[in-house]
Amino acid sequence: MELTDWIMANEKPLRSGIFFGMLIIMGVWEAVTPKKDRVLTRLLRWSNNLALLAVNIVVARLAFPLAAVGVAAYVAENDWGLMNYYEVPFTVAIIISVIALDFVIYLQHVLVHAVPVLWRLHRVHHADPDIDVTTGLRFHPIEIIISLLIKFAAIVVLGAPVIAVVIFEILLNAGAMFNHANVRLPHSVDRFLRWFIVTPDMHRIHHSVEDDEANSNFGFNLTWWDRLFGTYIVEPRAGHDGMKIGIHHYNDPKQVSWLHGILILPFRAKIGGYTINRRSWDDKNES
């Protein structure tokens, strides 16, 4: 319990340190060996994507002061959840919880592509005309709230230990920045890593403008779920150099890259003068 107490006491600086460290590392890596040429300037996209992140942090803290770790601590105090009910050994409970939470995030990701009202929110993430480390942080505040509620429910049902939740949160944030990064990995390294974790080349396909490619490679950390459920694509048809990032007709930077445009994007019926006819049932109904 001493380790748990230390993590609870240092959870915020621990997560913040890893977060900013990963952001800097991936940002430098992108600058040195980029995979794709940029459509927009780094200054425009980074300033607005990071501003959106700041908005999300404020909204999340105001809506849920305890956050996921606080929920896990409350669950532990009251012996809720499967891990507590079946008295699963602590180390095993950590491993199972981290894997199970990753699976929940995979299912959530599939859900936000399939349900029209949720896709309206999630298309904020996909409308980014470039993909880099900040794209992994770019989500609408309402989607963040929904995601937190799903995560809280999963923690309660699982009875996930506090340490497992901290590990998962760190892996989720670091993994999102890694696999959205515009970096070039050696082909052999990418192929090896893909047996275990989602790589930038694997996840970049998910941000293609092509419908079938955008509805593939949903995983954020572990690659197992895409392989198991048949949502895995190895390479984009046009190759990574020829693949276009974003959503068809989402071309106006004021609407997809400036903060005010990003925040109202889910509530727009038309983008750039075109009726959206794209990817989800909701978009098809708008045409």
Residue 212 predicted with pLDDT over 50: yes
Q: What is the pLDDT of residue 287?
A: 33
* Minimum mean pLDDT range among 93-102, 133-142, 189-198, 265-274: 265-274
Are the C-beta atoms of 128 and 251 separated by less than 8 Å? no
Rounded average pLDDT over 245-266: 93
Q: What is the pLDDT of residue 193?
A: 97
How far, in Å, CA of 167 to CA of 134, rounded?
A: 21
Q: What is the pLDDT of residue 249?
A: 87
Are the C-beta atoms of 236 and 208 separated by less than 8 Å? yes
Rounded average pLDDT over 153-182: 96
Identify the sign of the CA torsion 120, 124, 127, 131.
Answer: negative
Query: What tokens were used for 27?
Result: 């940002």
Q: What is the pLDDT of residue 1?
A: 58
For residue 121, the tally of other CB atoms under 10 A from its CB is 22
Instruction: Quickly state the pLDDT bin for 140 (edges 50, 70, 90).
Output: very high
Give the phi and the psi of residue 208 in degrees, each rounded to 5. -70, 155
Who has greater pLDDT, 4 or 184?
Answer: 184
Residue 279 predicted with pLDDT over 70: no
What are 181-206's pLDDT values in tens digits? 999 999 999 999 999 999 999 999 99
Query: What tokens were used for 66?
Result: 């305890």
High-pLDDT (> 70) share of the chain, %:
93
Residue spans of the domains in the chain: they are 2-103+116-181+251-286
Q: What is the pLDDT of residue 270?
A: 55
